[in-house]
Structure 1
Amino acid sequence: MTASCRGRLNSLSLLQRCKVTGNDGDIGHVRLALFDTVDWRIHFLVLESSPWLFGRWVLILPSLLLQPIERGSMHMDVSRRTVRTSPTLHPLQDISVQQARSALLHYGQPVPPAADVPLLIETALLDCELSSGGLGIGRVVDLVYDDVDWTLRYLLVDTAAWWPGGHRVLIGVRWIEAIDIEAKQLRLSVDRAAIRASPPFQDIASIDREYESQLHRGHGRDRYWIEPPLAA
Structure 2
Amino acid sequence: MLRSVKDIRGYLLKAQDGEIGKCSDFLIDDKQWVVRYIVVDTMKWLPGRKVLISPISIGDAEALNRRLDVALTKDQIKEAPPLDADAPISRQYELDYNRYHDLANCWVGTPVWEPHVHPFLLHRSKADSYVSKMEAGDPHLRSAKEVMGYNIQATDAPIGHIADFIVDQDTWIVPYLVIDTINWRPTSKKVLIKPDWVEKVGWRRKKLLLDLTSDQIKNSPTYDPSMPVNQECEVRLYDYYGRPYDRKKEGVQ
Normalized against structure 1, the TM-score is what?
Answer: 0.85
- Aligned AA for 1:81? D
Q: Distance in 1 between matches of 2:82 and 2:7?
A: 23
Structure 1 counterpart of 2:80: 86
Query: Does the alignment pair 1:69 with 2:63?
Result: yes
Higher relative contact order structure (alpha carbons within 8 Å, sequence separation ≥ 6): 1
* Aligned 8 A contact 2:2 2:228 in 1: no
Query: Does the alignment pair 1:158 with 2:158?
Result: no
- Mind listing any 5+ residue stretches in structure 1 that lack a counterpart? 1-7, 228-232
Label 1:54 to 1:199 Cα distance change in 2 as closer, same or farther (>3 A).
same
Q: Distance in 2 between matches of 1:50 and 1:26?
A: 11
Shift of 1:131: 1.2
Query: Does the alignment pair 1:146 with 2:168?
Result: yes
Across the two proteins, how many residue pairs are aligned to each other?
220
Label 1:24 to 1:179 Cα distance change in 2 as closer, same or farther (>3 A).
same
Label 1:93 to 1:193 Cα distance change in 2 as closer, same or farther (>3 A).
closer
The alignment's C-alpha RMSD in Å is 2.1
Three-state SS of the structure 1 residue aligned to 2:161 is strand
Query: Does the alignment pair 1:25 with 2:18?
Result: yes
Label 1:205 to 1:147 Cα distance change in 2 as closer, same or farther (>3 A).
farther
Structure 2 counterpart of 1:200: 222
Three-state SS of the structure 2 residue aligned to 1:222 is coil
* Aligned 8 A contact 2:87 2:143 in 1: no
Label 1:105 to 1:214 Cα distance change in 2 as closer, same or farther (>3 A).
same
Aligned ranges for residues 217-232 of structure 1 at < 5 Å? Answer: 217-223=239-245, 225-226=247-248
- Aligned AA for 1:76? V
* Aligned 8 A contact 1:57 1:91 in 2: no
Q: Distance in 2 between matches of 1:133 and 1:109?
A: 41
% same residue: 24
Label 1:68 to 1:221 Cα distance change in 2 as closer, same or farther (>3 A).
farther
Query: Does the alignment pair 1:113 with 2:135?
Result: no
Label 1:220 to 1:90 Cα distance change in 2 as closer, same or farther (>3 A).
farther
Q: Distance in 2 between matches of 1:191 and 1:217?
A: 16
- Mind listing any 5+ residue stretches in structure 2 that lack a counterpart? 106-128
Greater strand proportion: 1
Q: Distance in 2 between matches of 1:154 and 1:16?
A: 17
- Aligned AA for 2:186? P
Q: Deviations over 1:26-47 (max 9, x none)?
A: 1011222122222212111121
* Aligned 8 A contact 1:59 1:88 in 2: no
